[in-house]
Structure 1
Amino acid sequence: MPHRQHLLTMPATRQPASLLSVDRAVFELRRGRVVVIAAANGARALVMAAEGASPQSLTDLTNLAASLPDLSITRRRAEVLGLTDKSDADAGTVLALSLSGGLDAEAVLRLADPLTEAPTAELERTTVHDVDKHGPHTAAVGLAKIARLLPAALVATIEDPDSKDLAGWAARRNLALVDAGDIFQYERTAARTLTRVSEARVPLEDAEHTRIIAYRPQDGGLEHLAIVIGEPQPGEPALVRIHSECFTGDLLGSLRCDCGDQLRGAIQAIGASGSGVLLYLAQEGRGIGLVNKLRAYTLQDRGLDTLDANEMLGYDADERVYLPAAQMLQDLGLNQVRLLTNNPDKVAALSGCGITVSERVAHAFPSNKHNEQYLHTKKAKGGHLF
């Protein structure tokens, strides 16, 4: 199922500060630096991406917080490691791990990264803890996901007695401070602030009468694109394809997936119909990012299918969100669509965002020897209709 979040609406006046604080925290995390997270329940912690762990960074984290860190991972990753049984609980929820004798950098990487050596010895001394779903542990993993890193983070409760004024304490140490609520709201806030920033006529091979419109969130992050073919009329069901970017398939012509065929086939189909829209979303690898998609490819080469590989990394099988697509369609005046897709979950997700899907239009292409298993998995486990 596509990734979904049930979030409270944020006041519009709060949006710019919210996006900016999360954006700053993302860049700090990606640089291997420590971030301060404050939660509404009064909890506060220092956080670092698990994949950035080193002996020195762990020492620095412990000294700054004046407490020992836990390793926060998704329940999905914990299930893969055998640390918890599969249950009806949301697989995207977060659990905290502590190790007898403490965490070291090698243990962190083995527990968080399935491409490293199996953490056999670490599992024997691991204790699993439930955490507050609104607290710093959950927010830390959410921030790692936004940063397109492995969904695992080191989290140390701030026990430093000088930290009562948390904002001042963080500023004196040149640390980014972010509110957990802003992290939980980020995807909705970014989608709601999409604005048109550029538009140009771009004749395409199978659709000469085409415009490309770029939409940018208020934080200045990655743009989503609306490829408008012909003149779709507001009030009429438009033929629409929602396509998540795929560097390997769209640009390089990778044979491991059918993305390139779907992209070019959609342009051809919309052009032949006279009008419609292809929404090109900046959600590489079903929302996990290019680096993690390449990690998943390596796991697939070791025998996993495409969905299991994502879950081995700690992600849900599909992390995409469709709020940006709905926002763009509404801006174009298109509230009814005929959706080019083989994925019923995509129909349900877009409908849940307030867009009426009047028809699902089949969109399948022949397989090759490199993607036969991929397409079989999409059908057998992903519910795709071919």
Structure 2
Amino acid sequence: MSSPFGSAPVSGLVTVDRAVSELRRGLDVVVRDDDGHVLRVAAAEYATPDRMAGFAAPGARLLLTNRRAGTLKLRPLVGDPVALPLAGPLDAATIASLADPTADLDLPLRGPFSVLRRAPQAAEFAAVKLMKLARLLPAALAVDAAAADDGLLAVPAAEITAYDLAAARGLRIVSDARVPLADAEQSRIIGFRPPDGGIEHLAILIGDPPRHLPVLGRLHSECFTGDLLGSLKCDCGEQLRGAIRAIAEAGGGVLLYLAQEGRGIGLMNKLKAYRLQDQGFDTVEANERLGFDPDERVFQPAAEMLRLLGFDAVRLLTNNPEKVAGLTASGINVVERVPHAFPANNHNEFYLATKRAKSGHLL
């Protein structure tokens, strides 16, 4: 089935989205790659003795990202993900604790654990990527399976790894309404949805900026705690409201509100990262201990949203050079970086210092 909204086949997107739903419900799915590997996979954070029965066959393994394996001092790190045979000390409780680092400091003497000394399979990489798409911890149980294992949903590895780009290219406008804002009364909110019905993004169009000139714009990743609750742990709420004010004062522009909570790891995982920060780890270390990259966001959706709104050049409100690079790589001309910083408070000054020192933010 072809998509009327771009070159991405809708069937592949829908299959990946269905697999995400299955995993979040605690069910297993099958991942197959072009090299003939077929894996039955499940979320490691849901490991229980009963569920482990489906992974009792020879060759069953736990897949951890290189980031997570590194924090656990596992060697050798021969690729990403790292595979640990399900044997010896790897019972359900241990597997769940290896997936979730929030109890690491309470469990310092686990192991030793064996690591398979081979390059990872494409199906293994896709299995962990699928956990990320599901906003679960990036750790998977895997066992070799038949092509159609017990009627489980099967998804090609290539469709999983291509999902982000395919979903972005298939975005279309599904809603558009006038919404006067406190600091920008002449505003519209425009909703974007991928053809598989997956995660939706929003644009706040302020005024009527001309399409033939670079638009003043901001890419803002949603932050439930900062945007809605006024959390002092970050500067997201100030950045959101400050950008709306700045764009309105400049006569118009656009703010893209992207569904990329916690720099792309999801709200539940962000809360786990906050717990790790309370244990003394900084924001980058916390993400890496969870098994994620410091920043898991992708910028293709933002570029496609700008194009659908009629913009191909932007003056970008940001302190993050990665946003400039990401939009540029996606075909949007960033003609200027407009600084967008706010004073620190007692709760977020270490967070901001870490973004400056480790993530290259120009603060």
Does TM-score exceed 0.5, indicating one fold?
Answer: yes
For residues 184 and 101 of structure 1, what CA distance do their matches in structure 2 show? 32
* Kept in 1: contact 2:28–2:152 (CA 8 A): yes
> Between the two proteins, what is the percent identity of the paired residues?
54
- Partner of residue 356 from structure 1, selected from 333, 354, 358: 333
Unpaired segments ≥5 residues, structure 1: 1-10
Question: In the TM superposition, what are the counterparts of 1:1-386 in structure 2 within 5 Å?
Answer: 15-62=9-56, 66-84=57-75, 93-98=80-85, 100-101=87-88, 103-117=90-104, 120-132=108-120, 135-158=122-145, 163=146, 166=147, 169-170=148-149, 173-386=150-363
The answer to whether the 8 Å contact 2:74/2:113 transfers is no
Query: Structure 2: 5+ residue runs without aligned partners?
Result: none
Letter in 2 for 1:36: V
Amino acid at match of 1:143: L
Aligned length, in residue pairs: 358
Moved more, 269-278 or 97-106: 97-106
Q: Which amino acid aligns with 2:316?
A: L
Q: Is the 8 A contact 2:138 2:292 kept in 1?
A: yes
Deviation at 1:127, TM superposition (A): 2.2
Partner secondary structure for residue 353 of structure 2: helix
Q: Could you tell me whether the CA contact under 8 Å between 1:342 and 1:364 is conserved in 2?
A: yes
Q: Secondary structure at the match of 1:221?
A: coil
Structure 1 distance, partners of 2:350, 2:118, is 36
Q: Per the alignment, in what secondary structure is the counterpart of residue 347 of structure 1?
A: helix
Counterpart residue identity of residue 136, structure 2: L
Shift of the 363–85 alpha-carbon distance from structure 1 to 2, 3 Å rule, reads: farther
Mapped partners of 1:31, 1:282: distance in 2: 21
1:3 aligns with none
Distance 1:120 1:304 in 2: 16
- CA drift at 1:232: 1.4
Distance apart, 1:68 and its partner CA: 4.0
Matched position secondary structure for 2:83? strand
Give the Cα–Cα distance (whole angstroms) in 2 for the partners of residues 59 and 217 of structure 1.
Answer: 37
Shift in Å at residue 110 of structure 1? 2.0
CA-atom RMSD, angstroms?
1.8
Return the alpha-carbon distance in structure 1 between the equivalents of residues 256 and 304 of structure 2: 11
Cα distance in structure 1, aligned partners of 2:61 and 2:117: 9
Deviates more, 1:11-20 or 1:178-187: 11-20
TM-score by length of 2: 0.94
Distance in 2 separating the partners of 1:85 and 1:340:
42
Cα deviation for residue 283 of structure 1 reads: 0.3
Q: Structure 2 CA distance, aligned partners of 1:278 and 1:290?
A: 21
Deviation at 1:367, TM superposition (A): 1.0
Shift of the alpha carbon at 1:264? 0.1
Cα separation, 2, equivalents of 1:288 and 1:131? 26
8 Å contact 2:89–2:113 — kept in the other structure? no
